[in-house]
Structure 1
């Protein structure tokens, strides 16, 4: 097959262009410190790199979400601990109040304390955080309970937060979670009324109040245990997310960051190849038939 001058020139120019492209690619890699600067550098690796970066971003967001939920759980735990202490004090006062030997003055003192503890319990259930009611479900701008009728005025819905791929957790508690119903307050009012003016229903009223309060106290203790369990579970989820980020970052580094020793070797090889091609092209292009005559 005969190679014409124009074909030879095209071949040599193509070789020079390829060497220049390779050289420029190495220069760019060394200036940016990255092996992949364009999709064309390695399409498969570039697509994989995008997937890894999304994985890192998602898991870092999950970690922030977990921390927010844990912060909210801590806030709930503080308020529920307060309710547990109030319930314990109410229990002690009701037991004292059942003592039929108490004089009028002693019962009056118990009444004052019970009224105060009841109001503090209502205030705690209507606690706010940054303008949002804690125990009102998703109806965060409505108080959880009416302090006069004891009607639950929020709702029992939950807000959810994403803490993993296809994994969501509730980030709020409702008043129903905490005290079950408003019976504790209606029974307390009945007990207080009997302590102020005893009737034949005295024993029954204080017994009902004690039972209601003990049920609430048990619910609160179980809820505190559940909060601790949720917090620990989120800790484990967060550790898993941290491990996933670490793994993805390690793989990303191996795909993306440049090995300067390897790049220097490639640079030298490219420069040698370019120089050899240039010399060959110059030597052959300079040959003329007149030189052979």
Structure 2
């Protein structure tokens, strides 16, 4: 009789200890916000969380790459806009300089402005980012990793943007056509100046068309980076949601379970205390 009673008491103590451990575990889950404390809590979910964690680490790097590339692409866009403005002004000056009524002093001022525009073009072609990276690299642009399978450029090679334009005399640079305009405006003979200016204007139009195409190509690169950023954000949200479902505590459910187990433990402790107030003589009677 006594042995059986002792066994029941020990079993009850163990049951209460288990309840206490479960309550402590629930409190930990609520305070940390994490359902999985160690891998053994849920090996399958823990393994998946590990995979997701690695993927999120990769995404952090790719997101940083995309933001850097987008910053460069925006600077390139601004530079190309400046190049476009330069050639629009070059055309205006060349048209004005071809006129018979323009004075030699005015033409000299136009030549001076054209030379200034030529210098501005050179500065744009060799411009750099705040970190010293060339906006228009002399070699092939660096391809930026934006995912495990995708690598994108933020800009174009310098020669692609500023060289290889087809003019009347053949292939040449953007710089050359401004020099051609300067030579035309500097010509004193009106007939020769007009003929040279007309040829220069035709070439300037070709340069403007080339710059427009390069501007559009840069827009495509920027759009690709924007698309990569959107895909990255979408994938990041999906991974975060999946990880949360696997790893995070369901607070409402855990609080309900905690309250129920706390009440059960309190009731068991009260009953156990009441039963064990009996003396040995009470048990023998």
* Aligned twin of 1:185: 175
* Aligned twin of 1:162: 145
* Aligned twin of 1:225: 216
* Aligned twin of 2:72: 72
* RMSD over aligned Cα atoms: 4.2
* Aligned twin of 2:46: 46
Q: Which moved more, 1:227-236 or 1:37-46?
A: 227-236
- Equivalent-residue separation in structure 1 for 2:256 and 2:136 (angstroms): 67
Tell me if 1:256 matches 2:247: yes
Q: Note the C-alpha offset of 1:90.
A: 0.9
TM-score relative to the length of structure 2 = 0.72
User: Aligned pair count?
Assistant: 270
Tell me if 1:212 matches 2:195: no
Asked whether the equivalents of residues 184 and 212 of structure 1 are also in contact (C-alpha less than 8 Å), the reply is no
* Aligned twin of 1:126: 126
Q: Which runs of 5+ in 2 are unaligned?
A: 1-10, 165-171, 276-282
TM-score relative to the length of structure 1 = 0.70
Q: Note the C-alpha offset of 1:34.
A: 1.8
DSSP-derived class of the 2:146 partner: strand
- Equivalent-residue separation in structure 2 for 1:194 and 1:173 (angstroms): 31
Tell me if 1:173 matches 2:173: no
Residue-by-residue CA offset, 1:152-182 (whole Å, 9 max, x unaligned)? xxx2321122222311111233322322245
DSSP-derived class of the 1:161 partner: strand
Tell me if 1:235 matches 2:218: no
Q: Which runs of 5+ in 1 are unaligned?
A: 1-10, 138-154, 284-290
Residue-by-residue CA offset, 1:213-266 (whole Å, 9 max, x unaligned)? 322211211222222333333333322222222222222222222234543555
Tell me if 1:96 matches 2:96: yes
Asked whether the equivalents of residues 26 and 263 of structure 1 are also in contact (C-alpha less than 8 Å), the reply is yes
DSSP-derived class of the 1:134 partner: coil
Cα distance, 1:226–1:189 mapped onto 2, change above 3 Å: closer
